[in-house]
Structure formats: C-alpha cells, structure tokens
Amino acid sequence: MTSKTILLITPPYHCGVVEVAGRWMPLGLLYLAGAARKAGWTPLLYDAMTKDHDHATIREELARIKPDCVAITAITATYPDALEVLRTARDLNPAVITLMGGVHPTFMYEEVLSQSSDLVDYCIRGEGEDTLTQLLPCLAEGKEPHDVPGLAFERDGEIVVTPERPFMLDLDQPVASWDLVDWDDYRYFVIPNSRLAVVSTARGCSFSCTFCSQQKFYKQTWRGRDPARSADEILGLWRQHGVNVFLIADEYPTSSKERWLEFLERLIAAKFDGYLLMETRAPDIVRDADILSRYRKAGVVHVYVGLEATDQVTLDAVKKELNVDESKEALKLLYAHGIVSETSFVLGFPWDTEASIQTTLDLARSYDPDFGHFLTITPWPYADIYEELKPHIEEWDYRHYNLVDPIVRPIAMTLAEVDKALMDCYRRFYMGKLKAFDEDPDPFRKRYMLTGMHLMMRSSFLKQKMGTLGRIPYEVERMLRSLKSKM
C-alpha cells in the first residue's frame, strides 16, 4: 500500500523585520514531519516563505506534488496568506485534506471555521505532534476524528471542538526530520559563510505579559528538554551538516540555571566553535552574572532581552515583571562579556503622545543596547490586552498585525503619526550608534555590529517605510555610504 503524503508548508508572508538578518527554518513543521512519519505518512517540507515563492509559484508546486493532505501554520499576520494557500490546494484537488495549526487557529478556530470551513478541514489546537500522529491514521481510514483531542472542525453547520490535548511531558519524544531540510536555504547574513539551524531546548514561559501570544499558547507553563539531548542535537548538526549558527527558538531557555549551565558545559567540553543566538529575560542575565563567561565560551554571541518598555509605569501596565535598573544591568553585563545585546521598545499605546515617544527614545538611548527595535503595540485578538485596546483599534486587516504597522490609534495621534515617529526613532537611535560600533575594541563585535547595522539600514522594510514618509533622509544615506566603506 502506497504511503499517503502530507505537505507541510509555510505561507508566503513577508513584512521585512525578521528577514533582515537571516532565513529561518520552520522548526515546528520539522517536528510535525516526524509525527507524520510515526503515523505512517510520507511528509514533504515546502518552506515557501523562505524560498520567496509567490502564490502563483505555490500553485505550480502544489499541482506538481499532488499531496493527499496540506498542512499549514499560521500566526495572525500570516493567516490571510495561509488561507489563500489552502484555497489553491482545494481548487486543484477538491478531495485534498487541509489542516491549519499554530497560534492563530488555536485560539480563533471559531472565526476560521465559521468563515472558511470550505477551505480548512481541521484546526489543530495547541501542540500538534501527538494530535497529528493520532489524526492522520484516522483520516487515512476514512473515520471521523471525534475522539482525537486537540481539534476543531465543522460538521453539518456546527463547530465540533474535541477535548483539549494535554501538553507533552517529554519534550525529547518528538523528533525533528532534519533530512527534509534544504540547507542551502538557511543562512545568517551577519556571519559570513554561515549555515543556520533553528533548535529548541524548552517550550513555554511562566510569566504573564499581557501582549504575548506564547504565554497564552503555553498557559504560562514551562518545560525543558534534557540538556544533554539538546546539546547533542546541536553537536550532531554541527558535525554532520556543517551548521555553524544556531537560533535557539525557546521563549525562555534559561528558566533553570542548573539545567542551562549543564547545556553550556556540554558544548564547551565538545569544543563547539559555532555561534548561538538566543533570547531570555533580563533578570536571568543578572542572576547568571557569575556564569556569563560560560555563555560566551559555549558560543553565545547574541542575546535578545525582552524589555519592551523603558519606563516602569508601562512595564507594570503590561505585566512585564521587570524593573528598569535590572534591565540596564543586564545589558551592561552582556557588553562586559563580549555578547551582542538586542532589545525592543513598544510604541503606539493609547496614552502615547509625540512627547512620550520622544521620552521612550531618550530612555532607549540611556539603556544603550547594541541593537534596538521600535515596534508598535499589536493586540492579537486572543491576547490578554486585546479587550483593553479594542476601542482604539483602527486597522482590522490581519496582514498588518506584524509589530511593524500601527494598529492602535493613540488618543492624541493618528496612525500615520505613529508610523512616522517609529521611523524617526530608528533613524535617530542608529545615527548615534555608528561611531560606537566602529570604535568597539572587540574585532568580532565590531564587524558583527557594523554588518548587522548595514543589513538593517539597507533592508527593504526600513527603506520602504522611510520612503513613504517622503524620502530616505540624507543622513541615513550618508550613514549607509560610511558603513559600506567599513565593511
């Protein structure tokens, strides 16, 4: 009997921010591929987003592959394009089975199915590996999946919601199908001749930031993998596939200091000479002041620290559970250990004014991260902060729910004014960075930061945004010429 095929595909969505520095593989789909194999199906990976394929090209590929099932992942911003992919699949083959998983359908399955049940056969709610392993044999046998936890689907005009699936207790159980990866697609542009992988050592976060989708998805729980297994996976990809840059995709990898230190020590003992990119919380960096040298020796070169706000009032309003002094200390510690720091500052709250945004910029400069991003508050329709911000929402097209385009109109500003203020923050923040980057005494940090800054300033995202405001400012063009001469 011929094995049925499931095509795991990413929607062809681009907003300019996350693609400036690299091309990131869809790790979640690699885990789902492993689950499909466990169920006896043949998985195929099609990363249309990374390949920069448009809907016309995707149509050609779907017509060529002829999968029995098409599974797509969707966050809120990518949801419209995900639907369009499934529309194409259904048009080419009315009998194809269509699945949609990810954060958006996990919470918005009623909207998805009430509006598009002709395109989406099943919404997978929550973690998908065990659900897919149980669902696919059921579908192959033509049975109804009412007993499969973690699903939502439409039958006879009614939405059926099966019981909630518990989180997996053993995160070393799911296996990523690394053999499906087209390694030439994945690079980190900041480091020359790089090959990049995305890996996971933990899932979830136990904190309650009101704007965050991940704490909602994981219900403020945290689970860690065996640190030895996580390190071995990285070492295996490094040795067997020549991967030298690893993005640790965890929301919160350092929750347990003991576990995290064991992970680092295993990489050090193996003489791993690649690079690790990660994010964590500022209090953990302060907590780990005595082992930050081990971070760097294990290959950690870049840490995103989630600050989101510069003043204590806003931090408290979004339940960030940080204090300003601790955040500044974390950034100083990273610098002292030769680790590049990155953070973001969120603008566009209802109470924001041009004066308050200027204050945010001034404070961002005083924090002095190596890289700073200025983002717009984006109230996902399932986020804790949504109801509070809903009266101020002026943009309802999900494609703009990307942290870049203004969604919420402040009482004293227009969306266009927020957009202009956002670009002005970028321009003024980085105008003050060029000299500092050029004079950094650490040769690795200097080249890394100059390259990163050049990529950012040359990105189509910033150029388009600045262009819509009239023209790219002369000082930005001058800075780009200066950066090019130093590369």
Q: Residue 224 forms beta bridges with which residues?
A: 202
- Residue 183 CA, distance from chain mean position: 19
385: phi then psi, degrees, rounded to nearest 5? -85, -5
- Where are the domains positioned within the chain? 5-161, 187-431
**pLDDT tens, residue order, the chain (487 aa):** 578 999 999 999 988 667 888 999 999 999 999 999 999 999 999 999 999 999 999 999 999 999 999 999 999 999 999 999 999 999 999 999 999 999 999 999 999 999 999 999 999 999 999 999 999 999 999 899 999 999 999 999 999 999 999 988 888 888 999 999 999 999 999 999 999 999 999 877 766 555 555 666 666 677 789 999 999 999 999 999 999 999 999 888 998 999 999 999 999 999 999 999 999 989 999 999 999 999 999 999 999 997 655 555 555 554 545 567 888 899 999 999 999 999 988 899 999 999 999 988 988 898 899 999 898 999 889 888 889 999 999 999 999 999 889 999 999 999 999 999 998 998 889 888 888 888 889 999 999 998 888 887 777 666 666 655 444 444 445 554 554 555 5
Largest CA distance in the chain: 68
CA distances (Å), origin 249, targets 27, 28, 197, 278, 288: 9, 10, 10, 7, 20
Q: Three-state DSSP class for 179?
A: helix
Closest by Cα among 322, 326, 376, 319 to 347:
376
Domains 5-161 and 187-431 share a fold: no
Question: Where is 235: in which H helix or E strand?
Answer: helix 227-241
Assigned CATH for 187-431: 3.20.20.70
What does the DSSP 8-state code read for residue 350?
T
Does the domain spanning 5-161 belong to CATH 3.30.1450.10? Answer: no
Distance from C-alpha of 129 to C-alpha of 151, rounded to nearest angstrom: 12
Note the pLDDT of residue 469.
46
Note the pLDDT of residue 456.
79
Distance from C-alpha of 152 to C-alpha of 104, rounded to nearest angstrom: 13
Distance from C-alpha of 252 to C-alpha of 306, rounded to nearest angstrom: 10
Note the pLDDT of residue 212.
58
pTM (2 d.p.): 0.90
